[in-house]
Amino acid sequence: MQNKLPKISEAELEIMKVLWGKSPQTANEIIDKLELAMNWKPKTIRTLINRLVQKEAISYHQEKGQLYAYYPLISQDRYLQVETKSFLNRFYGAAFKPLLVNFLKEEKLSLDDISELKRILDEKTEENQRKGK
C-alpha cells in the first residue's frame, strides 16, 4: 500500500465507491450502477476507470474471455483517513477540537450517536492516561 494516495477526483470517487461496495466488478457492472444514477455515458465511466488504473487506485484481473474485473488498491478506510487529515489541515490547521465543537453544535445527534461518541472519548481518555499525557 502506498504511503501517499493518488489524487482522486469527485467523479473518480464515484467509481471507487462502487468498487468499495463490491469487488471485483467488470466495467459493464460499474456502468450499470452509475449510468443512470450519475447520468453518465458508458464511455465517460470507462475513461474514469482507466484513469484510476493509471493512478494505481484500482487494478484488474482478466476473467472469462476478454472481461476484466476491477478492484480497489486503496481501502475505503485508508482513503477516508488520509482525506480527513487533509481536510483538517486545509480548514482547521490540523486542529481537531474546533472541527468537533462546530460539528457538535450544528449536528442533530441521536442518543446512540452520543453514546458512541462518549465511548470513544472514554477510550481516548484511558489511552492518554496510560501514556501519561
- Looking at residue 102, what is its pLDDT? 83
- Looking at residue 3, what is its pLDDT? 56
- Looking at residue 99, what is its pLDDT? 77
Residue 105: C-alpha distances to residues 47, 69, 79, 98, 114 (Å): 42, 44, 27, 11, 13
- Looking at residue 1, what is its pLDDT? 41
Q: Are 36 and 51 in contact (CB under 8 A)?
A: no
- Looking at residue 133, what is its pLDDT? 73
Q: What is the pLDDT along the chain (133 residues), one digit of tens a residue?
A: 445 789 999 999 999 999 999 999 999 999 999 998 999 999 999 999 999 999 999 999 987 777 899 999 999 999 998 888 888 788 777 677 777 888 888 888 899 988 998 999 999 899 988 888 7
Q: Are 94 and 88 in contact (CB under 8 A)?
A: yes
pTM over 0.85: no
The radius of gyration of the chain from alpha carbons, rounded to an integer in Å, stands at 19
Q: Phi/psi class of residue 47: alpha, beta or left (left: φ > 0; alpha: ψ in -120 to 50)?
A: alpha
Question: Helices in 4-110 by DSSP H: which ranges?
Answer: 10-21, 27-38, 42-54, 76-92, 96-106
- Looking at residue 2, what is its pLDDT? 44
In the numeric block, the cell 482522486 is attached to 8
Give CA–CA dist 3/9, Å, rounded. Answer: 19
